């Protein structure tokens, strides 16, 4: 059993992946964390790394190849990544949606607590909203260029879940209740 989680910034992807991992007793992976480490190794923020990715394919291809290998491993796990659903087609594919204001507030709060080393400390929620818009636009451009796909096309997913007013526990419970029984 493999669950792939994608969605908008601030929707709670990594948090729910960790929760599902704990409930199911399987490993979890975060493509965002892998890309964040790649950015840090180069002395860049994730946004700078994404901008580089618009001209340098390695920024995506390395983690995308890694995801494909994970998916072929026959292991059970949960993973969050914008394109995990694409590179691991034999998964239960979930898209987490969120109201842009709530997503920005969540990211702003995390930045104030220093929870993400690959992101700068934002000065306001409005600044976060601007960065979210730029990040998603960069993702869309890169994925169209390299793979000809649109991660925002909700028809790619088995479940689309609006996380705006849900707790972590509620997100995990809903995902598990919608999974096909094997």
Quick: pLDDT tens for 136-152. Answer: 998 898 899 889 999 99
Q: For residue 157, what pLDDT band results from cuts at 50, 70 and 90? A: very high
CA distance 14 to 46: 16
Q: For residue 99, what pLDDT band results from cuts at 50, 70 and 90? A: very high
pLDDT (mean) for 101-128: 82
Q: In the predicted model, is pLDDT for residue 3 greater than 80?
A: yes
Q: In the predicted model, is pLDDT for residue 37 greater than 90?
A: no
CA distance 100 to 27: 29
CA distance 85 to 24: 19
Question: pLDDT value at position 40?
Answer: 85
Q: Which residue has the higher pLDDT, 26 or 42?
A: 26
Q: In this structure, what CATH number is given to the domain that contains residue 67?
A: 3.40.50.300
Question: pLDDT value at position 168?
Answer: 93
**pTM for this prediction:** 0.87
Which residues touch 110 (CB under 8 Å, ≥6 apart)?
116
Min mean pLDDT across 7-11, 14-18, 61-65, 99-103 is at 61-65
Question: pLDDT value at position 32?
Answer: 81
Query: Domain limits at 144?
Result: 2-178
Q: Which two tokens stand for residue 100?
A: 């842009």
Which residues touch 146 (CB under 8 Å, ≥6 apart)?
57, 60, 61
Write the pLDDT tens digit of every residue in 9-18: 999 998 999 9
Q: For residue 77, what pLDDT band results from cuts at 50, 70 and 90? A: very high
The total number of structural domains that make up the chain: 1
């Amino acid at each position: 059993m493999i669950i792939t989680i994608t969605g908008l910034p601030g929707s709670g992807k990594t948090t729910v992946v960790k929760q599902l991992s704990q409930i199911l007793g399987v490993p979890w992976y975060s493509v965002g964390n892998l890309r964040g480490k790649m950015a840090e190794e180069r002395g860049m923020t994730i946004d700078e790394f994404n901008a580089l990715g618009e001209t340098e394919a390695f920024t995506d291809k390395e983690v995308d190849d890694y995801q494909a290998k994970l998916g072929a491993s026959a292991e059970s796990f949960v993973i969050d990544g914008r394109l995990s659903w694409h590179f691991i087609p034999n998964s239960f594919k979930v898209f987490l949606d969120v109201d842009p204001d709530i997503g920005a507030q969540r990211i702003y709060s995390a930045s104030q607590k220093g929870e993400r080393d690959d992101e700068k400390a934002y000065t306001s929620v409005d600044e976060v909203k601007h960065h979210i818009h730029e990040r998603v636009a960069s993702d869309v451009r890169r994925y169209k260029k390299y793979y000809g796909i649109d991660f925002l096309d909700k028809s790619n997913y088995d479940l689309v879940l609006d996380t705006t007013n849900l707790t972590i526990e509620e997100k995990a419970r809903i995902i598990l209740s919608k999974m096909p029984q094997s």
